[in-house]
Chains A and B, each alone.
Chain A
Amino acid sequence: MIEEVLVTLKANPKIDPVLSTWSWEVPVYLFLGGLTAGIMFFAAIMVLTNRQREVPFMTEKLVLWTVILLSIGMGALFLDLSHRWYVYRFYTAFRPTSPMSWGSWILIIIYPVCILQILSTFRQGYPKLARRLERFGVGVLALDLSERFRRPVAWVSVPFALGLGIYTGVLLNTLVARPFWNTGILPILFLVSALSTASALAILGTSDKGERHLFTRIDFGLIAVEILLVFLLVIDLSAGSEVQLASVDLILGGRYTVAFWILFFSVGLLIPFLLEARELLGKSAAAFYMAPLFVLIGGYLLRQVVMNIGLHSSWSNYANQFDPQLLELLH
């Protein structure tokens, strides 16, 4: 028998007994960042494959939401900072070894890319707003140029979209002290999920039957890949080190089993997978909005649940002998 106990009380808030440093803000950012990446990706790919008119909602309407969703996500990230008035420090340094530093700078570059992408289809998507913009000479110029360089803009958008999508996973993956995140599958899973949630948003929003059908097919394929990746993730961790084994136990009978398999996996993947399969087989289109809704919920839950499990997984396994709540008496 091994017993590891703390002789002195250790109860640093949000650190002990397990990390709870991040709450909903970071998952919301990861989710919205993923969504942004997915929209950028599809909007660009559709332009590049000359399908812009086939999927007008995605390429013309939804694309505007990239900057909005990303801004909300960054707002959430800002709320998460515990020393937040020093936020400007992200931009007084570039730390090449820090994924988060890369992330913050990438975001700075992604904004103009997004805006160019938006402008390149703005006249089709938001004619009223475009007319307002056209009141200014600069506006006309910007719209003209963006439309003219629609394809190059799309070309640029693709790597940035993929980068952002993968980055949301890499961010966690590189925090090596949290065994559950230490699998290369995680960034890919996050990327595929990002694309899936963007597809789902398109299915929900479009009034075009063809576009909905196309994205349902795409999403169906993406969910299938995701299901595969989830199993690969479990297998990968199960073949890992002692701490990774302990971390995967958290979802194989441990305290996150229900959250992972029922909430995320069933609600977020399995149910929409089945619903979309039925729809593709032409069986029930009546509740077509259900599947994408589940996908979006699933996309968020994936990030929230994976983040929580990761924070819970750790290298240390000592426990307090004494009740840490007693420290509250000191205040």
Chain B
Amino acid sequence: MTRYAMVIDMRICVGCGDCVTACKTENQMPDGLTRDWVVERTSGVYPNLSTEFRSERCNHCSHATCVYVCPTGASHYWRDTNIVLVDEGMCTGCKACIASCPYDARLIMHPEGYVDKCTFCHHRVEKGLDPACVSTCPTHCMYFGVLDDPASKVSTLLRTRNYKTLLQETGNQPNVYYLT
């Protein structure tokens, strides 16, 4: 399995939300539906505070419970990668995958009713491009690449920087990394 990873440097991210708008326009999301979002977390008491900004989306988990619970195979790994896609022609809209995703990253496409989610812009990835969110980021705090390639930028960053992933304890093995 080729593992694609997204690495987001929270030290740089300013939480502008351009990644969200980039996704909506690139993927022509219907009004009000979103595949990514930005969380701002503040901890502490004034004036001893810290904040982090996290651009969040599907984590394209290596052990994706959404893929495992799908009764039809609609939720699947794309071409032996960790990119999780939903085949709308196979999706019944049973919504088990939605309930199984601890990141609440899935949505119901309007008006058709199949389940939709971030695709890591695989239509761009196959052309050698970065996902729309990554290529739009004005602070260049987002990186995308192949984790199995030790020379890739994402591998280098994860080797040299401290990072965390979200809800690792669920065992889903997420592939969106946050540099701390």
- A–B: direct contact at CB < 8 Å: yes
Let me know if B40 is at the binding interface, CB within 8 A.
yes
Main secondary structure of the interface of B (DSSP, over half): loop
Let me know if A12 is at the binding interface, CB within 8 A.
yes
Q: Is the CB of B40 within 8 A of A83?
A: no
- Given A6-B37, A12-B107, A330-B32 in contact, is the A99-B69 Cβ separation under 8 Å? yes
Chain A residues with Cβ under 8 A from B167's Cβ? 315
A331 is contacted by which of B31, B42, B94 (Cβ under 8 Å)? B31
Chain A residues with Cβ under 8 A from B114's Cβ? 82-83, 86
Chain B residue nearest to A307 in the complex (CB): B99
- Given A4-B41, A82-B108 in contact, is the A316-B99 Cβ separation under 8 Å? no
Chain A residues with Cβ under 8 A from B106's Cβ? 15
Interface 1/0 per residue, B54-85 and A, CB below 8 Å: 00000000000101111111100000000000
Q: Is the CB of A95 within 8 A of B98?
A: no
Q: Is the CB of B170 within 8 A of A97?
A: no
B39 is contacted by which of A4, A93, A330 (Cβ under 8 Å)? A4
Q: Is the CB of A21 within 8 A of B70?
A: no
| Count of interface residues, chain B, beta-carbon cutoff 8 Å | 54
Chain B residues with Cβ under 8 A from A15's Cβ? 98, 104, 106-108
Q: Is the CB of A315 within 8 A of B88?
A: no
Let me know if A11 is at the binding interface, CB within 8 A.
yes
Chain A residue nearest to B74 in the complex (CB): A89
Main secondary structure of the interface of A (DSSP, over half): loop
Q: Is the CB of B98 within 8 A of A2?
A: no
Chain A residue nearest to B44 in the complex (CB): A1
Chain A residue nearest to B69 in the complex (CB): A98
Q: Is the CB of A80 within 8 A of B70?
A: no
Chain A residues with Cβ under 8 A from B32's Cβ? 11-13, 327-328, 330-331
Interface 1/0 per residue, A3-25 and B, CB below 8 Å: 11111111111111001011000
Chain A residues with Cβ under 8 A from B101's Cβ? 177
Let me know if A81 is at the binding interface, CB within 8 A.
yes
Chain A residue nearest to B19 in the complex (CB): A8
Chain A residues with Cβ under 8 A from B17's Cβ? 7-8
Q: Is the CB of B34 within 8 A of A8?
A: yes
Chain B residue nearest to A82 in the complex (CB): B93
> Which of B's residues lie within 8 Å of A, judged by CB?
15, 17, 20, 31-34, 37-45, 53, 65, 67-74, 88-96, 98-104, 106-108, 110, 112-115, 167, 169-171
> Which of A's residues lie within 8 Å of B, judged by CB?
1-16, 19, 21-22, 80-84, 86-87, 89-90, 92-93, 95, 97-101, 103-104, 174-178, 241, 310-311, 314-316, 318, 327-328, 330-331
